[in-house]
Homo-oligomer: A and B are copies of this chain.
Amino acid sequence: MQAQNWLIDFRGGTRANMYRVLKTVVATRSPYQEILILDTIGFGRALFLDGIPQSSALDEHIYHEALIHPVLVAHRQPKKVFIVGGGEGATLREVLRHNTVERVVMVDIDDTLVALAREHLGDWHQGAFDDPRVELVHADARGYLEKTSETFDCVIVDATDPLEGGPAALLFTTEFFKLAKSRLNPGGTFGMQAEATDIGVCEAHASIIKTLKQCFKSVFSYQAMVTFFGLPWGFAVASDEDIAARFTPQVIAATLRERGCTNLKFYDVESHQHMFALPKYVREAIEDPNVGMIIRDDRVLVVE
């Protein structure tokens, strides 16, 4: 047996995922994070930020479709969308599929990452950065939202994990959620990646959902299996409107049809039902007053 190149993701030190590497495409450090783009055997091209798996060619569409379509379907007619993060461009790609969308402001702090994604992750962005509806800004998204007077129909957070000392921590707090809400038009919807919903580790997800419930009248937790992570991943959609009425099979089907989103690879009525019907342990974690906490700027969420 010959030498094999593996990327080992030591998740907390008690279990680990190994990815068989063919080749390093990019290994660099931007001012904000360590950027690694690899070609792997099992997952094709794959992006890691600060050593944490972000997305792979095999299943990035599951992550990105799961993140975007519920929050856009939840809105009756999304025209203006604000994206926090999403450097690969795939979040943007999914937003632009909805033909109601007229303007997207995407704020990702890391211009190095976006430049590398443009060059090496073509299957992710598929040209989305060049869509005339898009304004791309490289700045701190929270700071940008604080200063702008513009308002949006949807605000979507596609941030990296809130690591110890990392920049994403302030995108998961009550204060940030209220800021985002203040920039929503009436009827606006808010969506975000909301950390793992694995049986071993769904406390962070529970904290996020609980915190959102302090800020919005209607909050949904949902999840999708992301094989690249080796575990199911949580998302949230929130609004002061009654989202539930938008999530009936009839409305979802009609909305996708009207907006030209019928050829999605993952998301449709049944995948929606799969994601929004939660395994019992996720519901229990969210309902258990002893699990998780209300996240605040002075008491941030930190995952390992």
Q: Interface on A for B, CB 8 Å cutoff? A: 1-24, 27, 36, 38, 40-43, 48, 50-53, 58-59, 62, 198-200, 224-225, 227, 230-232, 264-268, 270-271, 273-274, 277-281, 283, 304
Contact = CB atoms under 8 A, between A and B. Distances in A.
12 contacts: A1-B304, A3-B52, A4-B8, A16-B18, A18-B18, A58-B200, A62-B279, A225-B225, A230-B230, A265-B281, A270-B277, A271-B278
* Copies of the chain in the assembly: 4
Contacts of A227: 198-200, 231
- Interchain residue pairs A-B with the least CB separation, the first 5: A2-B51, A14-B42, A24-B24, A273-B277, A16-B18
Given A8-B6, A42-B14, A279 B273 contact: no
A16 B43 CA distance: 12
B13 A1 contact: yes
A53 B2 CA distance: 9
Contacts of A271: 277-280
A38 B24 CA distance: 9
A286 to B, nearest CB: 12
A163 to B, nearest CB: 9
Nearest to A9: B3
B279 A225 contact: yes
A50 B13 CA distance: 17
B280 A270 contact: yes
Nearest to A281: B266
A20 B15 contact: yes
Contacts of A232: 225
Contact of A274 (B13, B21, B277): B277
A283 B266 contact: no
Given A17-B18, A270-B277, 15 more contacts: A1-B13, A4-B8, A5-B8, A5-B36, A14-B40, A15-B17, A16-B18, A16-B20, A17-B230, A21-B24, A23-B27, A42-B200, A225-B231, A267-B280, A274-B274
Contact of A6 (B6, B50, B230): B6
A232 B16 CA distance: 17
Nearest to A14: B42
A5 B5 contact: yes
Contacts of A8: 3-6, 18
Contacts of A36: 3, 5
